[in-house]
Chains A and B, each alone.
Chain A
């Protein structure tokens, strides 16, 4: 919003409410449901349709990394007949849309937020400007997700013009790509999935890999996610992490959701013929330069995987699930070959690069001084460094599972409780609020559609 805080250009007042939730993805809708349970007036603003990113910003073959039986939101769970399957992007859209309907979420679609500014000096609520009028509210929940802006490393600037560049957000399927070899950059789930798909389309792939997280899809007869959930790994709290900042930056594990429940790792890709190389460090004179650290990043990932599996074995032993599960397994170390390639000429045979190098959240419209010197949002486990401002759905926000769909509920309940406490304190502390504002907000909020008490679905 280019206008000053208290005098935004009005395109017709949209209204006032207690809480504006920005984003109708799974996090925003989960928050909406819990706010509704507590009778807190709110609106969910969505730039497109419900589950917009899943509709418009994901590649065609993407499936969830978690099995269907894990996929649930507050008061709602998977109802299909394939509990061990993995939802396609389309099915995720259907699931989240059904949730919005089920919970009668007060979503205003096709409403893009253009600016959020504090009213007064902070503590008096926020203006939320949209392309369909402005909202006044006392609290704002940022639920636009962690995967808004693809990260493209600076080395991309030196990419020869003859190489077409794609990101995990612009890539839909291999037909978009020119014929010829492709460089895929990134060793997370995204990088490995795209490398496999593109290679199988007849375009030879070189995959550049930095630090990564390796794990089998199925361990001892059960989905690896089952083990991590049952043993409490996914519930580990950020307070317990030795290095919280680093824990939040850990890339997504190398997993893929397929009907066959196959393991997708670097060994599997090399067996297909994908050439695995070290991290992309630079591009000089049209030549990509790869790190000589590939062996070590693979050794690190193997060691970490084995630690995870050993802790699962130990847990299984302690909890007596050894009888029903298969026996302990260990996997072949990652084989990087005799001498991994250190350079690759771009632009001749290699005609395209796909950046699978992660995402940033996008808060370019958030005009509140809550950013650190690197542009990161300052928050304590979702409670942003400004009164009445909250954020949801970021990796390891409060727990390891925070960015997963099944992880939303615990975070949302805790943050909604904090938010309710904030609203209560703000209301009772008249010194901090202009009485006229409260009345205005109250009157308009009362006229907003309220959700009926929803009938809860057993999980």
Chain B
């Protein structure tokens, strides 16, 4: 809700952040008209290796009305660190949550910056989540298992004012799937069957 002013003609340099905005806007337009194509299913599979070590695999997903494949299969090892008497064969699952949040927010920042014609030079995030182990260890029932809060700190160098950069980061949170998954309740169903 701002007063509209004509932008001067000498500031029409297009930002280059490696985001195909035309494709994003095209997808938005198309998916608005075909809601069924907008329904996606994201998948991962996982196999326990030993101890607290598991290996997860990501390759296919469903979207645009059909099965889709990543360019290649991705594997992720998760484990616990040695101070928990584990072998530390990978990041902890908790850290994957932070990795997911950072990846999602930064992708959003780049897309929105491109849309707003803001040239990014560097986008660095550090994330920190607090957690009280008394929760998962069952020592104190009043302590939750998960994070008691997440702090994300962005340092961004871009051709834009501090307010414009703050607005990028805020808009990215508003449109972030992982932010939403973390900040809002999600129904989770876990089943098991004997092989």
Using CB atoms and an 8 Å cutoff, list the residues of chain A in contact with chain B. Answer: 211, 213, 228, 231-233, 236, 240, 250, 278, 281-282, 284, 289, 291-293, 296-297, 299-300, 303-304, 306-308, 310-312, 314-315, 339, 373, 400
Contacts and interface: CB of A to CB of B under 8 A. Distances in A.
Contacts of B170: 296, 299-300, 303
Contacts of A291: 183-184
Interface string B119-155: 0000000000000000000000000000011000000
B64 interface: no
Given A281-B185, A282-B185, A308 B1 contact: yes
B99 interface: no
B9 interface: no
A181 B180 CA distance: 28
Contacts of A213: 1
A289 B185 contact: yes
Contacts of A211: 174
Given A300-B171, A303-B163, A303-B167, A236 B185 contact: no
Given A293-B179, A303-B166, A233 B2 contact: yes
A312 B184 contact: no
A307 B2 CA distance: 6
A232 B5 CA distance: 11
Interface in B175-195: 179-180, 182-185
A157 to B, nearest CB: 15
A284 B184 CA distance: 13
Interface residues of B, number: 21
A138 B99 CA distance: 62
A101 B151 CA distance: 61
A295 to B, nearest CB: 9
A339 B149 CA distance: 8
Contacts of A299: 166, 170
21 contacts: A228-B1, A233-B2, A236-B4, A281-B185, A282-B184, A291-B184, A292-B182, A292-B183, A292-B184, A293-B180, A293-B183, A296-B174, A297-B174, A300-B174, A303-B170, A307-B2, A310-B2, A311-B2, A312-B3, A314-B3, A339-B149
A303 to B, nearest CB: 5
B3 A293 contact: no
Given A293-B184, A296-B179, 10 more contacts: A228-B1, A232-B4, A281-B185, A284-B185, A289-B185, A293-B173, A297-B174, A310-B2, A314-B3, A339-B148
A330 to B, nearest CB: 11
Nearest to B167: A303
A245 B78 CA distance: 43
Nearest to A343: B185
Interface of B: 1-5, 35, 148-149, 163, 166-167, 170-171, 173-174, 179-180, 182-185
Contacts of A300: 167, 170-171, 174
Nearest to B180: A293
Contacts of A339: 148-149
Contact of A307 (B163, B180, B183, B184): B163
A211 to B, nearest CB: 8
A314 B5 CA distance: 10
A232 B4 CA distance: 8
Given A281-B185, A293-B173, A296-B173, A231 B166 contact: no
B93 to A, nearest CB: 19
A292 B180 CA distance: 8
B176 to A, nearest CB: 10
Nearest to A297: B174
B184 A304 contact: no
Given A281-B184, A296-B173, A304 B1 contact: yes
B14 to A, nearest CB: 18
Contacts of B167: 300, 303
Contact of B3 (A289, A296, A315): A315
Contacts of A240: 4
Contact of B2 (A250, A293, A297, A308): A308
A153 to B, nearest CB: 13
